[in-house]
């Protein structure tokens, strides 16, 4: 049996790895650089979530992140949803997501623009109950600088826990119980990067990932 979720998420600033190659070995799909008006690009709720996070004081005392709590200095860079990508978003990979017919099936989930990762309770229907779902968001940072990766998830039938990483560097365990919006600050170089969400405990839905550039463009 896996460990129960951690008590809370502790904010840290992670460094991205040296920018990756362009990914020319994979086919390139057109991504709309313009975000439609139907998507809310208000940074204010994300900044407020950042301020509420344990460890937020590390940003307040870091001169490089002096504008982190000023939402007028936040600029959307890449947006990933299950059905669409915008800005510099390049690839969305979903590994080991699940389909349970007539309940959390893929047609229903796609109509709600989310993906489900199951947990225990379905072994009698043949589920391996493996808890090994992964979401990988591959995007381009247009400039060197400070970025915030804003994860939006929804737990299902109880608490859950995931681990988020930027270029393989972990932000630590992230518990959720209900709807979650959690910013992850990082410093990136110009080029391609991967933000990954790994399932560790419980069932959840992936809703979206927003990548914001913080500070002067």
CA angle 196, 199, 201 (to 5 degrees): 155
What tens digit of pLDDT does each residue of 133-176 get? Answer: 999 999 999 999 999 999 999 998 889 999 999 999 999 999 99
What tens digit of pLDDT does each residue of 86-115 get? Answer: 999 999 999 987 777 776 777 877 888 889
Instruction: Output the DSSP codes for 39-85.
Output: S----HHHHHHHHHSBTTHHHHT-GGGTTTT-GGGEEEEEEEESS-E
What is the chain's Cα-based Rg? Answer: 17
What tens digit of pLDDT does each residue of 6-48 get? Answer: 667 988 999 998 766 655 567 766 677 777 777 888 999 999 9
Is residue 1 pLDDT above 50, yes or no?
Answer: no
**Are 194 and 20 spatial neighbours (Cβ–Cβ below 8 Å)?**
yes
Q: How far is CA 109 from the centre of its chain?
A: 18
What tens digit of pLDDT does each residue of 117-138 get? Answer: 877 656 665 666 677 899 999 9
81 phi/psi in degrees, rounded to 5: -125, 170
Is residue 217 pLDDT above 60, yes or no?
Answer: no
């Amino acid at each position: 049996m896996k460990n129960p979720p951690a008590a809370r998420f502790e904010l840290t600033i992670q460094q991205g790895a040296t920018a990756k190659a362009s990914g020319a070995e994979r086919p390139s799909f057109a991504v709309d650089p313009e975000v439609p008006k139907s998507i809310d690009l208000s940074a204010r709720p994300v900044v407020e979530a950042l301020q509420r996070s344990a460890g937020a004081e590390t940003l307040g005392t870091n001169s490089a992140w002096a504008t982190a709590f000023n939402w007028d200095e936040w600029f959307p860079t890449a947006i990933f949803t299950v059905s669409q990508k915008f800005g510099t978003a390049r690839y969305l990979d979903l590994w080991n997501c699940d389909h349970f017919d007539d309940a959390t099936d893929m047609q229903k989930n796609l109509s709600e623009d989310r993906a489900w990762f199951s947990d225990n309770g379905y072994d009698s229907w043949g589920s391996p109950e493996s808890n090994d779902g992964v979401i990988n968001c591959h995007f381009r940072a247009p400039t060197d600088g400070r970025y915030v990766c804003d994860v939006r998830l929804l737990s299902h039938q109880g608490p859950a826990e995931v681990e988020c990483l930027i270029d393989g560097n972990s932000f630590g365990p992230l518990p959720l119980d209900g709807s979650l919006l959690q910013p992850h600050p990082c410093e990136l170089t110009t080029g391609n990067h991967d933000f990954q969400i790994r399932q560790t405990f419980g069932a959840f839905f992936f809703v979206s990932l927003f990548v914001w550039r913080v500070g002067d463009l």
